[in-house]
Structure 1
Amino acid sequence: MQPSRQPRKKADDLETIARRSGRLHRMAARLPTYMADLRERPSWIAMFVLARIMLFRRLHWRRARPYRAADTPNRASLFERVEPQQVVEQVRTQGIHVGLVLPEDICAEILDFTRRETCFGNFDRRLELDATQYAEAEVRFGRALLSGHYFEKVLDCPAAMRVQRDPLLHEVAARYLGDRARVVSTRLWWSFPSQQASDADKNLASQDRYHFDLDDWRMIKFFFYVSGVEPDQGPHVYLRGSHKKRSLRHQFSPLVGHSADEVYADYGKDNALTLLGGPGYGFAEDPFGFHMGTVAQRAPRLMLEVGFGVSPPSRRRFHGEPVIR
């Protein structure tokens, strides 16, 4: 029996080494970003180290001042039949609320914008491409392309800015985070199907691997499928309830990304919610909960994100998040 076990053990060892190598590659790629954050805002290091520990996180939440109606812009909302407090309560208990829908004309305007503007592959500004020709771009660049980000170009998309300024989003954020809530990120990006992507490529793109966001002490994010998403188009997956509990090994690990098996062992596979919907389908989530984007298999996915936090926004992020004007 021993000879049959040895190849399996060797394969397991190689798989472990590959996973560790991918994690180290991801950390090395983000190191310049972390150093820039630290130079720009020295208090960032305290958040980065302590905000993953539940004791310090709860203490910071207790400092939140209650929502005031004056914190909400006095404008008409794109989301007419949504009750802000219901969204807040569901995010508090589950970590996620599903039921936001962008109007068709907003989705159409954003899609039209992406046809006029080029994006940047794999967070790399040297890989500029037309999103409608991503397959040809893979051949031209000689590498897999899993994503195409518009970075600060999204600020020039009037429809996306209408979403960013929507009073419902601001009210939900203020009720959830307290009166210091502010927009800290606005992102628009494609997820492309790629047959060439390695596990390292997927890891760097935060795809097919659970992770949690650690950009601020308290955050809430709103996501919208501009193009609609079916099971084979890279749906977002969220682990309900994981935003308010964290195992010790995940609190004290320097890594934010972990395998699905490891995460399910601590938080339960039954809590995984795969989000599918047509154009405009949206949801609000606390990104401290474990979540992941899956790899698109058949067709690309266009996602719009508006994130709120309580600290001054960084001038740049790993994901190319722009300064909010």
Structure 2
Amino acid sequence: MHNPPENDLVSIARQGGRLNRMAVRTPTYPADVKEKNPAWRPMSLLVRTMPLRRLHWFATKRLVAHPEPGQSMFAGTEYGAVVDALRTDGHFPGLTLPKITYQEIAEFARNTGCFGNSNRRIEFVAPELADAEARFGRPLLSGHFFERSLDCAAVIAVQRDPLLADIARHYLGGQAQVITPRVWWSFPTQGSEADRSLASHDKYHFDVDDWRMLKFFFNLVDVDEGTGPHLFVKGSHRRRRIKHQLTLHVRHPAEEVLGFYGKGSVVTLMGKAGFGFVEDPFGFHICSVPTQKPRLMMEVGFGISKPSRRRFHGEPVLR
């Protein structure tokens, strides 16, 4: 049987069927353990259980964060209201980027080469998506910029905004530190189940990359129902079904998740370009599939542990 190229993540995923995402991630685990703190792998398992998760939060000394110098671009937003909403609901949908900022990032994204389906061998500019799919012979559901995002001054300005750091430190603790930002496209392409899995479009999931995390998201284009809005299960960061605590999987079907939390717990986060929100990614969430127009988003993440240098913001790499 023909073996796919080493870094052809889509081909590898397709061979795995229901285990497609595991097929992609498993070969990277040894490098994860080698590169990251030795405690990372046990942490990724233990953090799923609510008693141990609460114990870790309780035992960690909460340091009062001192405001960063400089003026925030999010004028009129107080960190206290955001932190209170995060603790109760797991999200806060009240952050708005200045027009000049999101327009600069969007312009950068339209004119800079991105990498399709997290594969650095598939490079194209977003306006030429159709030509790229024909050239590479596969559907392209996403386009990530990885470290190229750091070439955009507006991206750096958002990442360094003092309000974001203040919110993160008051919610996560004084040791909160920024993770490299992420900018990516999601395209309304009819991909296979494996393609959707790789783009995190197929199931609700939660993140276990650190004991405590916080993620800020910003729409860089108008996002409505046809653009694939972000969905978050309100309150799911505070309680968790036993079945979901005692499994290695972080991705679960919608009917299984909503059967426990209720359909009324789902918050649809969409809005005009510049609309932003912050969430505790331990809560169940999903970036729904765009059906009509491409979605362009930016993310700024915070954690409490030393980030890995081996991959750019979770980029899957096979050695």
Same fold (TM over 0.5): yes
**How far did residue 318 of structure 1 move?**
7.7
Once the two structures are aligned, what percentage of the paired residues are identical? Answer: 53
Question: Does residue 54 in structure 1 map to residue 50 in structure 2?
Answer: yes
The residue that corresponds to 1:39 in the other structure is 34
Q: Whose radius of gyration is greater, 1 or 2?
A: 1
Q: Which residue is 2:210 aligned to?
A: 216
Contact 2:200 2:286 (C-alpha < 8 Å) held by counterparts: yes
2:62 equivalent to 1:66 = yes
Secondary structure of the residue aligned to 2:167 is helix
Structure 1: runs of 5 or more not aligned:
1-18
1:77 is aligned to 72
Paired residues of 2:89 and 2:234 also in contact (CA < 8 A): yes
Q: Which amino acid aligns with 2:225?
A: P
2:304 matched to 1:310?
Answer: yes
Q: Deviations over 1:26-68 (max 9, x none)?
A: 0110113322211112111111110001111111111332242
Rounded to whole Å, the distance in 2 between the matches of 1:236 and 1:47 is: 27
Q: Say which SS state the counterpart of residue 227 (structure 2) adopts.
A: coil
Secondary structure of the structure 2 residue equivalent to 1:232? helix
Report the alpha carbon displacement of residue 176 of structure 1 after superposing the two structures with TM: 0.1
1:154-201 alpha-carbon deviations (Å, 9 max, x no partner): 111110110000000000000000001001231000001103x01121
* Matches for 1:112-127 after TM superposition, within 5 Å: 112-127=107-122
Asked if residue 201 in structure 1 is aligned to residue 220 in structure 2, the reply is: no
Q: Is the 8 A contact 1:123 1:148 kept in 2?
A: yes
Aligned to 1:258: 252
Instruction: Give, in whole Å, the separation in 1 of the partners of 2:112 and 2:103.
Output: 14
Using the alignment, how far apart are the partners of 1:205 and 1:299 within structure 2? 16
The residue type equivalent to 2:227 in the other structure is Q
1:23 CA drift (Å): 3.8
Q: Is 1:148 aligned with 2:158?
A: no
> What SS is found at the alignment partner of 1:29?
helix
Kindly provide the CA deviation profile for residues 127-172 of structure 1, in whole angstroms up to 9, marking residues without a partner as x.
1011111121111111010000000111111101100000000000
* Residue 316 of structure 1: how far off its partner (Å): 3.8
Map 1:168-187 to 2 at 5 A. Answer: 168-187=163-182
Q: Which amino acid aligns with 2:117?
A: N
Residue 270 of structure 2: which of 272, 276, 279 is its match? 276
Tell me the amino acid that sits aligned with residue 51 of structure 2. Answer: L
TM-score, normalization by structure 2: 0.91
Structure 2 unpaired stretches of 5+:
1-13
Residues 1:162 and 2:154 aligned together: no
On the 8 A contact 1:225/1:277 being kept in 2, the answer is yes
SS at structure 2 position matched to 1:143: coil
C-alpha spacing 1:321/1:157, structure 2 compared with 1 (3 Å):
farther
- 2:101 aligns with one of 103, 106, 109: 106
**Bigger shift: 35-44 or 283-292?**
35-44
Q: Which amino acid aligns with 1:61?
A: W
What CA deviation, in whole Å up to 9, does each residue of 1:197-226 have, x standing for no partner?
A: 011211121103100011100001000001
CA distance in 1, matches of 2:181, 2:120: 17
In the alignment, residue 97 of structure 1 is paired with which amino acid? F
**In the alignment, what sits opposite 1:11?**
none
Checking the alignment, whether the CA contact within 8 Å between 1:78 and 1:166 is kept in structure 2 is yes
Q: Give the conservation status (yes or no) of the 8 Å contact 2:146–2:312.
A: no
Displacement of 1:24 after TM fit? 1.0
**Partners of 1:30 and 1:318 within 8 A in 2:** no
Whichever residue aligns with residue 161 of structure 1, its letter is I
Distance 1:43 1:181 in 2: 18
